[in-house]
Chain A
Amino acid sequence: MKKVLIVAQPEDSCSMELLGVAEVFQPCLIQVAIFGDDLKLSKEKWTPWADRILGFEHPQLQWFDTDFAARVLAPVLLEEMPDLILTSRTNPGLELLPVLSGITGFPAFSDCLRVRFEDGDWIADKAEFEGKVIHSFRLPVGEVPICMSVRPGSFQTPAAIQKKAADYQLMSVPDHCPPRREFLELLDSSAEGVDIRKSKRLVAVGRGIEDQEQLEVAESLAKALNAELASTRPLVDQGWLEKSRQVGTSGVTVNPDLYLTVGVSGSFQHMGGIQGKPFIVAINRDPKAPVFNYANVGMVGDLFELVPLLEQEILKLGE
């Protein structure tokens, strides 16, 4: 039977999705490594889902020191030799996974989007060139343990996995492993004004919005979509929106998945601030607006009619 070891990061809300990867390898033995200075809650969380839980409890793990975690986990991996070692490709995952690979010498696969079993081979997909292409790799499952990070949101937590309550094993943290990273301070960088660059969904407003009150239409659409509001220059110039929301050659450059424009004409100065290959939906009164040259889907019409309708439909979806 295949052995899958899930490295559950403490702050990772998507770690349960890793079970979706494990599901592809069913039937398999699922081990979960958990970290922290108090493991009670995560132990409870994982017990119904795993065969075995490896608990690493140590004051240094109060905040997730990936260097420390990798050094205590790696010897266990070398002993257990699981077929697959999974973790989410969060920011700490970007530290943890390759370091595990480097210490153990197991090959690593980064940012997995999909895994399938095809003609006797395990095939994994990842995105390259900022999502412009999908690249497939054959995983040498069975030959060597593989360290794999998984893009959050790519897999779904399975409805149920037939598992008895997991064995819990508290792992000893060796003494010869002094922490090497001293945590000084936690900083909230988003406090320095919105950073729309981090948002994967953006609703961009342009001059089709004629006064400040009309902004509300777009704002509530953004809310429904769980998106941030982006803007073209004129609205920022008018002082209706913060400068940090201005996309374009003289504003910020964004790289979202969805870019929904409302009353944006699509000048080069604005569109030049969009990187990658987002799905662009454009709403504009003018069928000749250049924004339609960039958009994937366009709607020609009155934004005050279309936008509230769209918002309603999206809210319905959420229900």
Chain B
Amino acid sequence: MAILDGATILARISVSESEYQLLRLMEKKGIVVGREYSSDEIADMVGMSRSSVEALLRLLASKGLVELREHVVEEYVITDEAKKYLEEGFPEEKLVQLLVKAGGELSVEEVNRVLGREASIALANASRKGWVRIQAGKVVLIIDPARAVAEERAALEKVLQGEKLSQHELRMLRRRKLVDVKHKRMTLFSLPRSISELLSSVVVEVGALTRELIESGRWREVRLREYDVSAQPPKRFPGRLNFFAQFIEHIRDIMKELGFTEIEASPVELEFWNYDVLFQPQFHPARGPSDTFYLSRPSEARLPEKLAENVRRAHEEGIAGSIGWRYKWEPSKAAKLILRSHTTAVSARILSTRPSPPFRYFSIGRVYRVETIDPKHLPEFHQVDGIASEEGVNLRWLIGMLSEFLERLGFREYKFRPAYFPFTEPSIEGYVKIGDTWLEILGAGLFRPEMLAALGVDYPVAAWGMGIERLAMALYDLRDIRQLYSIDVEFLASMPSRWWIYAGTEI
């Protein structure tokens, strides 16, 4: 698959793409093997910045591909005084010109006056160089003025040009403090072998495999850098379905599996369907503003007359062999609008159509109760409600159906206890064991004969309901019910899935 076999590639020295490119450029520019170059020189040749060239060369050196020698060089820098002399003329040169103007001689006093502070330097150097003679208080020119050029000037020009100075010149300049000496560390690079040889002993290592590498086929010539595979990756959050919504869908699927047909109704109900039809008397403590949410707008609806009359009789006088609750039933109370307090209201609606058995219906929806929000309570939560009728529906059948439901949810330890609901008789409660605690999760029973008779239903109907939030909290190990409605998007996106719940794995 590749031109080079794996072993060859491994034997080669890894270089980065930029190291490789530098070597290629150096080859192109004709770098001489064995000769030492400063990084400046190489930078100039290849047209890159010195700092990056030096960094790359050092990396190549660490891999033994180039040689490097650190050494210290002296470097001369002309002083400010020297710069001034170069521009304005050396003091001794100025003296010669002064004397020429004066006709060849001038009193010392006059020289001092004209040249000021430079006078003594001018006199000393001109005398030393044999350009003037001092006689009886007078300075006398003794050289051809055309030849009176300071030799220091040429030496300084050399420094400026970067040329090497002779020992004599150096001494001369240093004596007059015209140059400073600086020590400079310098790295010199040289190639031990020809670049083509070097290139054949390396392989380019890259971080990312790019489209360019693939398209050009160059992936064959490169080595993909090895990673620290145990390093922590960055966190990435996916688009995500809500875990609690998924749990509700799971319950839907279980109900479907058990042969139930889904139904649904508005969460705004008449008290009638929520309570009266269910034979819950109007004086029941839950039928008041401390437990039930009443609507201010809209506040009431019309009652279905015929059914309302049946319900009235069931409550006031009793029907179907019952003695009834024996109080005055108020239609106006039944007509009030509320937010349903249980999904049994939905079951009551479907039962009012007198479906023919066998049937199984369920609904899942939000229900509402006057509760202050705290870690255990919300004024709204979800319930699943199921009703069923068929040949042989009775308490034992109901316990069997509930057992099946609980087992499909994953529970193997559960129990039933007697309970009370106004609309079922007998009534039972289901408990499941999660960890060390028994959690009460469902209520069930056979609908009361009074309720069924008022609806015109003449067969037994089993019913049960379960709150979903408490179960979801237990199965997801949540301490606060509000986490099911979390507004923390990071929490929602990073919440680990408990997929085994959906598999019905034993809890």
Q: Do A and B bind each other?
A: no
Chain B positions near chain A (C-beta within 8 angstroms): none
